[in-house]
Amino acid sequence: GWNMEDVLEEEIKVIKALVGPEDHVICALSGGVDSTVAATVVHKAIGDRLHCVFVDNGLLRYKERERVMATFESDLHLPVTCVDATEEFLSKLKGVTEPEMKRKIIGKEFINIFDIFAHDLEKKVGKKPAYLVQGTLYPDVIESCPPPGSGRTHSHTIKSHHNVGGLPKDMKLKLIEPLKLLFKDEVRAMGKIMNIPVAFLRRHPFPGPGLAVRIPGDVTAGNSLDILRQVDEIFIQSIKDAGIYDEIWQAFAVFLPVKTVGVQGDQRTHSHAVALRAVTSQDGMTADWYYFDFKFLDDVSRKICNSVRGVNRVLLDITSKPPSTIEWE
């Protein structure tokens, strides 16, 4: 393997040489490991000529915005603007039930918000941003012609769910991809050298469309987002408390748009069912459902029904990928 201290030093040198002294650079932070490490590398190279944005699309997990902003600001001192676009996203998603349509609307709205951020920045600094930082990793890169030996190539096309295709066209942004030769474990090692908290570097992946792919049907109906956030938080916190978070590739709750009859106290209830999903995987392409022990599941199920209003039934998803996908949409 490579020495990550050397790779980091070299990467900083390359970025310093690439970005002109008057140039400004923009980056969208998702709250995930890759964009955070990429931005931190660039910040080390060019300081506050890097301008990051974090968009709250109203589809984030419990206290996610507060938590990642605290890491960006207090731990990493990244220059980041937080945009609360909850209203913009949720108003456009109202009544939409088709999964691909939901994804399309979310992707398009993200580009709108990013476009506004880039143009506001242009007004502020009096110059169009020149570069865009992306947290592309080596596995995202499609090798066109692998050379003999161990050298890694980096000619590639950008994956369709990366938002670069729709970025402000009049800006002609060039890409900076400081992680494009690295694997995930190398990205974590680089993050650790730069003092990114280890708990942050171990976070499970989270999809761009957020909780929208974990609520079949209209995500704005009733209080489904609020219920899902509470259930998910209990599940994830229990997994952390049990010391099994790092064994799992991804774990989350799913809101089911179905009500069943229950009995809580001496009352009959007509409330929602939720599903729990946890999988192990190498790369997300295939996955196996995770074997929890029954005592753990029993505790989580009780905790959820006792503390989340509107839920009276907990199911466990015991399907691998294939035939299922990891997300429910």
Known binding residue 31? Answer is: yes
- Rounded to a whole number of angstroms, the minimum distance from the CB of residue 248 to ligand XMP is 12
Q: 145 to each of 140, 142, 154, 155, 179, how far by Cα in Å?
A: 15, 9, 10, 9, 20
Please report how close the Cβ of residue 268 comes to ligand XMP at its closest, in angstroms. Answer: 36
C-beta of residue 253 within 8 angstroms of C-beta of residue 277: yes
CA distance 205 to 188: 13
How far apart are CB 128 and ligand XMP at their closest, in Å? 27
CA distance 171 to 325: 37
| 135 in contact with ligand XMP (CB under 6 A) | no
Site string for ligand XMP, 170-209 (x = CB under 6 A): -----------------------------------x-xxx
* Binding status of residue 327 toward ligand XMP by CB under 6 A: yes
- Label residue 53 exposed, middle or buried (CB < 10 Å: 0-12, 13-18, 19+): buried
Candidate residues 44, 67, 92, 103; the one interacting with ligand XMP per rule CB under 6 A: 103
Q: How far is the CB of 207 from ligand XMP (least distance, A)?
A: 3
In the bound complex, what is the minimum distance in angstroms from residue 108's beta carbon to ligand XMP?
13
Contact with ligand XMP (CB under 6 A) among 63, 154, 161, 309: 161
* Window 6-45: residues binding ligand XMP (CB under 6 A): none
144 is in an annotated binding site: no
* C-beta separation of 154 from 142 below 8 A: no
Q: Does 321 bind ligand XMP (CB under 6 A)?
A: yes
Q: Cα 4 to chain center, whole Å?
A: 24
Q: How many Cα atoms are found within 13 Å in the side-chain-facing hemisphere of 233?
A: 14
Residue 32 among known ligand-binding residues: yes
172 — alpha (psi -120 to 50), left (phi > 0) or beta? left
Write out the E strands in the chain: 25-29, 50-56, 80-84, 131-133, 174-176, 250-264, 267-280, 288-289, 311-316
Q: How many residues does the chain have?
A: 329
Minimum gap (Å) between residue 90 Cβ and ligand XMP: 18
Which of 230, 250, 269, 312 forms a contact with ligand XMP (CB under 6 A)?
A: 250
**Tally of helices (H runs) and strands (E runs) in the chain:** 9, 9
Between 161 and 240, whose beta carbon lies closer to ligand XMP? 161
Annotated binding-site positions: 30-36
User: In the complex, which residues of this chain contact ligand XMP (CB under 6 A)?
Assistant: 103, 161, 205, 207-209, 213, 250, 284, 321, 325-327
Annotated binding-site positions for ATP: 30-36
